[in-house]
Amino acid sequence: MSVEVERKFICSEDTLKTLEEIGVCVGQRQFHDQYFDTPEFELTLRDLWLRKRKGCWELKSPVDMVNGTEEPNGEGSLCTRYKEITDLPEIYKTVKEVVNEAVKEACKDGESGPSQDDDSWLGKLNLVCFAEFTTVRRSFTLGGGVQIDLDQADFGYRVGEIEVLIPEGGDVQCAQEKIRNAAQKLGLAGNERVEGKMDVYLRTYHPEHYAKLLAAHVF
Ligand code: V4E
C-alpha cells in the first residue's frame, strides 16, 4: 500500500513555462472517475473517498502524522496525505466497518465478498454514485520521485498537484521537503490552501453535501 503526499496549486502561464523548462513531460491521459458514498455521507464525512477509475476500485483514506510537529502554515499544512487502497477485499472490509449497523447486519448472511466485475456489493452497502467527472491529465517528472500533474476537469476546473509517493510508514517529512523544493523551483509563492477538483465539484453541484463536509472540517 502506498501513501500519496501532495500539494495542489493553481498553474499560471509562468508556472507552466517553468515546468516545461525544468520538468520532463511523461504523457497525457484521460480518465473518468465515479465517487460513491451512502446517502448519509458516511464515507466522505470521515474523509474516505471511494472511487472507480478505469474499471478499478480505489479507496483514499487520510494518514495522520504520528509525531506531527508541523508548524502552522508550513509545507505540512499545505500537503495532504492519503493512503491508497486498491485491493478490493480490503476496500470492502474498510467500507463495511464504517457504514451503519443496519447495513452491516443485512450484509452478514451469505457474504461472499465483492468481485471486480460484479458491483452488487455497492447496493448491499447502500452506496450510490454522488460525483462523476472526466479529467485530462498532463504529467511531468522533476526527478527524485516528484511528479507534477496538471488536471483539466470536464466541469471547467484546472488544478495542478505536486506529488510524492511513499510506502506506508515511509518518511512523510522527507516527501514534504521534496514538495517544498519543487514548489520553490516552480515559483509557487502562496501559502493558502488550493481547492481540489472534488471541492469545486461539490460546491457547484451538491452544495448541501459540500456544506456538511465543510462543517465537519473535511474541506
Ligand atoms: C482525497 C480527496 C478526494 C479524492 C480525490 O483526491 P484528489 O487527489 O483530489 O483527486 P485526483 O484525481 O488528483 O486523484 P489522484 O489521481 O491524485 O489519485 S476528494 C477530496 N479529498 C480530500 C482533499 C482535501 N481535503 N483537500 C485537498 C486539497 N484535496 C483533497
The CB of 198 under 6 Å from ligand 1? The reply is: yes
- How far apart CA 98 and CA 126 sit, in angstroms, is 12
Burial class (CB in 10 A: 0-12, 13-18, 19+), 213: buried
Residue 8 CA: nearest ligand 1 atom is 28
CATH code of 39's domain: 2.40.320.10
DSSP state of 44: G
Reported as a single tens digit per residue, the pLDDT across 92-137 is: 999 999 987 666 666 665 566 788 888 899 999 999 999 999 999 9
Number of folded domains that form the chain: 1
Cα 202 → chain centroid: 14
Nearest-CA residue for ligand 1 atom 19 is 198
Residue 84 CA: nearest ligand 1 atom is 18
Give the range of the structural domain holding residue 171, as residue numbers without chain letter.
2-215
pTM of the model: 0.92
Cell 471541492, located at residue: 199
112/64: higher pLDDT: 64
C-alpha cell at 174: 522527507
Cell 517528472, located at residue: 141
